[in-house]
Structure 1
Amino acid sequence: MREHILELIQEKKNIPPLPDILHRLEAKIGSPKSQVSDIAILIETEPILSGRLIQLSNSVFFGGSGSKVERLPDAIIRLGLKMILDLAYTLELPQLFLRESDLNQKKFWQHSLAVAILARLLAEHLEELHCEPDPCYLSGLMHDIGIMVFNFIVPQEYNAFLKEVRGIDKPLQVLEQKRFGIAHPELGAEFIKKWWPIPAEVTLSVEKHFLEMSEKGKKYPVLLSVIMANDIANHFGMGHGISAHKETPDRSFMQGCGLTPDLLEDLVGKTRDSLHMAQEVLYK
């Protein structure tokens, strides 16, 4: 089964392409010559994306305060270019893998968003990580993309698998490896390497996010932020709901990184608030 699955992700007909708007937006935002008006003109070619970004800019968590923003250029200024790109990925990715299945896709993407937000918050608050927040968000958002790839390229087999493993207290990647010869972290990374121009540190986070927290992980701070965020999200009831298994976060390691119990509670609260505020815009 492993060889068959890896062959399928080599075939373009089986692969949802990364939306062209994301390619163009990456290029515009990465160009030192681009101005806010250039970014706005590009995004306005996608009216639904434009409208939802304006809505998100009025959310307190995503920068909204004071007067209501009604124009896209004002939304871009309020959110900032990096956040605009992150939210464009957040809005576009769930549309790529839409398919009837037993997988609760809304819950899946809410979990992915929770890990993205937590990973960014950890990078912002923990000096010990020595980590830039921007790649942490995209890494968190994409960390479980291999689950969606499974669901997209072998839907019947994966749906049958989901029914069988429901309630089993073992890590999902262990169960997948036993059934398919490959698990979602490796599959997601192979998929991204083949088809999506995503930074290597994001791909590494997708491939290794199931590892335990450790001092060795500090060599790869983006990955470590995602491992921590994923464990925290699962422990505090923000999981994807596929597997009954839950890792217990290594609190002593996290405290060694500066994540005190009070700060942990604060970051979890902020994440829950942001999910509540964003859900009507992101996943309707």
Structure 2
Amino acid sequence: MREHILEIIQEKKNIPPLPDILHRLEAKIGSPKSQVSDIAILIETEPILSGRLIQLSNSVFFGGTGCKVEKLPDAIIRLGLKMILDLAYTLELPKLFLRESALNQKKFWQHSLAVAILARLLAENLKPLNCDPDPCYLSGLMHDIGIMVFSFVIPKEYGQFLKEVRGINQPLHVLEQKRFGIAHPELGAEFIRKWWPIPSNVVLAVEKHFLQVSEKGKKFPTLLSVIMANDVANHFGMDHNISAYKEELDRGFLQSYGLTPAMLDEMIDKTRDSLHMAQEVLYK
């Protein structure tokens, strides 16, 4: 089955490409010559994306206090270029896997968003992590993309698998490996390497996010931020509800990186508030 699945993702047939708007937006934001007006003109070619970014800019979580933003350039200024790109990925990725599946896609993407937000918050607040926050968000958002790939390329087999393993107290990736010869972290990374131009540290985070927290993670801080964020999200009820397995949260390790209980509570509250405020915009 492993060889069959890998053969499918090597073919172009039905493989969802990364939306062109994301390629062009990355290029514009990465260019020192780009102005806010240039980026606004590009985003306005996608009216739904444009409208949702304006909505999000008026959310309290994203700084939407005071006067209401009604124009895209103002939304870009309020959110900032990096946040605009992160939110564009957040809005566009769920559209790629819309075919019928056994997954609760809304729950899946809410978990992915929670991990994305937490990974960036950890990178921003934990100095010992020594991590650039920018790739942490995208890594968190994409960390479980292999589950979507499974559901896309072998929908019947994976749907049946999910029914059979529901309630089994073993990690999902272990059960997938036993059944298919490949697990969603590896499958997601292979899919991204083949089809999406995503930075290597993000791909590594997708491929290895199932690992336990470890001091070895200092060599790969983006990966470590995602592992931490995933553990925290799952522990505090922001999981995708696909697997019954729940790993114990290593609070001692988190505290060794400077994450005090008070900081953790604040991050959890901020993430939950963000999910609540964003869900009507992100998952329509």
Is 2:157 aligned against 1:157?
yes
User: Alpha-carbon deviations, 1:115-136, whole Å to 9, x = none?
Assistant: 0000000011100101111100
1:211-230 alignment runs, 5 A limit: 211-230=211-230
Give the distance between the partners of 2:2 and 2:281, measured in 1 at CA.
Answer: 37
**3-state SS of paired residue (1:271):** helix
**3-state SS of paired residue (2:61):** coil
Which residue in 2 is equivalent to 1:60? 60
Give the distance between the partners of 1:188 and 1:63, measured in 2 at CA.
Answer: 33
User: Alpha-carbon deviations, 1:140-177, whole Å to 9, x = none?
Assistant: 00000000000000001000001101111100000000
User: Alpha-carbon deviations, 1:58-117, whole Å to 9, x = none?
Assistant: 111122111110000000000000000000000000000001122100000000000000
Offset, 1:218: 1.1
Q: Is the 8 A contact 2:209 2:227 kept in 1?
A: yes
Offset, 1:14: 3.0
1:97-116 alignment runs, 5 A limit: 97-116=97-116
Q: Is the 8 A contact 1:8 1:14 kept in 2?
A: no
Q: Percent identity?
A: 84
Give the distance between the partners of 1:10 and 1:164, measured in 2 at CA.
Answer: 28
Aligned letter for 1:161? Answer: F
Is 2:263 aligned against 1:263?
yes
Which residue in 2 is equivalent to 1:171? 171
Give the distance between the partners of 2:168 and 2:56, measured in 1 at CA.
Answer: 37
1:129-144 alignment runs, 5 A limit: 129-144=129-144
1:33-48 alignment runs, 5 A limit: 33-48=33-48
Give the distance between the partners of 1:189 and 1:62, measured in 2 at CA.
Answer: 30
Gaps spanning 5+ residues in structure 2: where? none
Give the distance between the partners of 2:137 and 2:247, measured in 1 at CA.
Answer: 21
1:4-153 alignment runs, 5 A limit: 4-153=4-153
Give the distance between the partners of 1:182 and 1:28, measured in 2 at CA.
Answer: 37
Is 2:196 aligned against 1:196?
yes
Aligned letter for 1:29? Answer: I
Give the distance between the partners of 2:207 and 2:198, measured in 1 at CA.
Answer: 13
Which residue in 1 is equivalent to 2:254? 254
Aligned letter for 2:23? Answer: H
Superposition RMSD on alpha carbons, in Å? 0.5
Give the distance between the partners of 2:60 and 2:136, measured in 1 at CA.
Answer: 21
Q: Is the 8 A contact 1:135 1:202 kept in 2?
A: yes
Gaps spanning 5+ residues in structure 1: where? none
User: Alpha-carbon deviations, 1:38-58, whole Å to 9, x = none?
Assistant: 000000000000000000001
Aligned length: 284
Give the distance between the partners of 2:136 and 2:257, measured in 1 at CA.
Answer: 16
Q: Is the 8 A contact 1:112 1:143 kept in 2?
A: yes
**3-state SS of paired residue (1:100):** coil
Aligned letter for 2:229? Answer: A
What TM-score, normalized by structure 1, do the two folds share?
0.99
Give the distance between the partners of 1:180 and 1:87, measured in 2 at CA.
Answer: 33
Give the distance between the partners of 1:62 and 1:162, measured in 2 at CA.
Answer: 36
User: Alpha-carbon deviations, 1:177-232, whole Å to 9, x = none?
Assistant: 00000000000000000000000000000000000101110111100000000000
